[in-house]
Amino acid sequence: MPMNTPAAGVRRLESPTEAQLQALAALLIDCVESGASVSFMQPLPAPKALAFWRGVAESVARGERALLVAEDADGIVGTVQLVLALPENQPHRAEIAKMLVHSRARRRGWGDALMQAAEQVARACGKSLLVLDTSSSDAERLYARCGWQRCGTIPGYALLPQGGHCDTTFFYRVLQD
């Protein structure tokens, strides 16, 4: 399978390098500049994006989350996190966070490949329930295609990166063996 196909290009990062953190920061900036409501406002300075990813790397090192990346011949084109460290009464579940695909690589199967990989990692970690939220109608369609169940929308939940409130839709997925 060539490296530019999504299934061949997704892997878990156990200990991200500085170059990978820089690439993830550039990916986050691209997504925020493209209007993704992913916790950051425009403009997103590179040092702030890099600080975020360094914090993620520290969380990965502590075993609190899994970090997956999608790569093509030009480098990292997408990422997703699986938040594993949840309260003790929720050992069976994990949260999907920061599912991002670079604007140059959208609508090519990377989001689907990232979600499938995240589900595989969740199963390997003994998780049977996943949850996520999104403010993107494109992402909603992806999650529905991947078998996720929509459970509701909260109006005005967050801000768009350029300002203004946006609604957020919540999804869950029960993992089958």
Cα–Cα distance between 44 and 25 in angstroms, integer? 10
Query: How many CB atoms are located within 10 Å of the residue 74 CB?
Result: 12
The span from the first CA to the last CA of the chain, in angstroms, equals 26
Query: Over the stretch 83-140, which tens digit does the pLDDT of each residue have?
Result: 999 999 999 999 999 999 999 999 999 999 999 999 999 999 999 999 999 999 999 9
Q: Which pLDDT score is estimated for 3?
A: 47
List 100's β-bridge partners, or say none: 79
Element (H, E) at 166: strand 165-174
Mean per-residue pLDDT, 5-22: 90
pLDDT at 2 over 60: no
Peptide bond into 43 cis (omega under 30): yes
